[in-house]
């Protein structure tokens, strides 16, 4: 008997996953540099998930400012910022009345290839990013490719050498407060030597390491006043004890975990397949478990998994994930096609321009 062929971006999910999103009145976005997409996942109803994949060049970290309805996405050599509009969404010519938020490109920072990982909005709308290639946290303006904001204490010069694989940051009061890295190295690619035992969390404010010997830490987040981090090499979610310098594993869903966001009592964690042809990742402790790519929903008070979804094809690796609270069905237009040029907005009005008559 022949097996039906899968369509691109085919997904499977537990019944409670769309039910949870629908009940939370929210949607999820993920970035996958491997597939070159930013993907919006929405609950059509309590039983069905729908998705919208949009093409970008190597999308990595991204962030959403819910107050100002702005989205920023780090790509291969640029950061693109988007403004959200519910009015443009409602009157989208291709699907009027379907979407409740439309993100349109507004400003691009031409950073060149910096291998930007985590990206966050901060005070006064400033963008903070982890510049992994140059081993520092940076900001952006219209004068330079980047401006260093903070560098780990052991890094003695600015160099495009990815010395410690600085990758994540947690924000506090609009500023970077904690940062994750694979080691404390100060030589090119030094983090590759022993990646399962040398990870650290820095306190950016005090310039100190608060916990070390971590197995590939990613995606640190302050959630309800507690610091959480993903331990990718062991497939664990950990809560950091900042006073004692140790951590508690709150869940071990397995797989290569990277990308985390929270909403109320729920934690959404992305997991990826391992690159079997990679000498760095193929021998990790979770190599046999990391066979799926998708999202896990966890109820924090009970530490239990309450929903799952995973890709059957097209998407093998996820970098980042965020949740749009109060947005059920978002859309986004890129600059690869001309579609975005039909969307016009002023401080008081929005318009979709009509195609020219031939």
The pLDDT tens digits for 20-59 are 999 999 999 999 999 999 999 999 999 999 999 999 999 9
Quickly tell me which residue has 């690619």 as its tokens. Answer: 189
Domain 15-334 belongs to what architecture?
Answer: 6 Propeller (2.120)
Beta carbons of 43 and 18 less than 8 angstroms apart: yes
Q: Which residues of 153-168 are buried (b: 16+ CB within 10 A; e: fewer)?
A: eebeeeeebbbbbbbb
What pTM does this model have? 0.94
Query: What sign for the dihedral angle of Cα 144, 336, 129, 63?
Result: positive
Beta carbons of 318 and 32 less than 8 angstroms apart: yes
pLDDT of 277 reads 64
Tens of pLDDT, residues 103-148: 999 999 999 999 999 999 999 999 999 999 999 999 999 999 999 9
What is residue 60's DSSP assignment? -
- For residue 55, the cross-strand partners are 37
Backbone φ, ψ for residue 30 (5° rounding): -130, 150
pLDDT of 1 reads 37
Mark the ranges of the chain whose per-residue pLDDT is less than 70. Answer: 1-5, 276-283, 287, 290, 356-358
Q: How far are the Cα atoms of 63, 110, 291, 292, 293 from residue 312, in angstroms, in the given order?
A: 26, 35, 11, 8, 8
């Amino acid at each position: 008997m022949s097996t039906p062929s899968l369509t691109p971006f085919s997904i499977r999910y537990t019944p409670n996953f769309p039910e949870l999103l629908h009940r939370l009145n929210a949607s999820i976005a993920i970035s996958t540099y491997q597939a070159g997409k930013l993907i919006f996942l929405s609950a059509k109803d309590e039983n069905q998930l729908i998705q919208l994949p949009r093409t970008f060049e190597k999308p990595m970290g991204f962030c959403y400012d819910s107050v100002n309805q702005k989205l920023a996405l780090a790509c291969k050599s640029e950061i693109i910022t988007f403004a959200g509009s519910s009015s443009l969404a409602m009157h989208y010519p291709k699907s009027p009345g379907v979407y409740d938020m439309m993100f349109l490109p507004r400003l691009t920072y031409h950073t060149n290839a910096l291998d930007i990982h985590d990206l966050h909005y901060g005070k006064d709308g400033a963008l903070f990013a982890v510049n992994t290639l140059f081993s520092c946290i940076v900001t952006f303006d219209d004068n330079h490719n980047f401006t260093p904001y903070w560098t780990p204490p052991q890094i003695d010069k600015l160099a495009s050498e990815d010395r410690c694989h600085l990758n994540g940051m947690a924000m506090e009061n609009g500023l970077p407060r904690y940062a994750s890295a694979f080691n404390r190295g100060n030589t090119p690619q030094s983090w590759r030597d022993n990646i399962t035992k040398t990870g650290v969390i820095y306190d950016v404010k005090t310039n100190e390491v608060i916990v070390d010997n971590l197995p590939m830490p990613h995606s640190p987040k302050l959630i309800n006043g507690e610091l959480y981090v993903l331990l990718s090499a062991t497939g664990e979610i950990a809560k950091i004890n900042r006073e004692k310098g140790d951590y508690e594993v709150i869940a071990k869903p397995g797989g290569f975990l990277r990308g985390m966001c929270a909403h109320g009592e729920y934690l959404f964690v992305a997991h990826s397949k391992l690159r079997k042809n990679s000498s760095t990742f193929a021998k990790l402790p979770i190599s046999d478990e990391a066979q799926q790519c998708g999202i896990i929903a966890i109820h924090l008070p009970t530490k239990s998994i309450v929903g799952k979804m995973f890709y059957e094809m097209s998407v093998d690796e996820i970098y980042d994930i965020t949740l749009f609270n109060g947005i059920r069905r978002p859309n986004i237009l890129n600059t690869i096609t001309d579609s975005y040029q039909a969307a016009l907005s002023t401080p008081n009005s929005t318009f979709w321009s009509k195609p020219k008559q031939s």
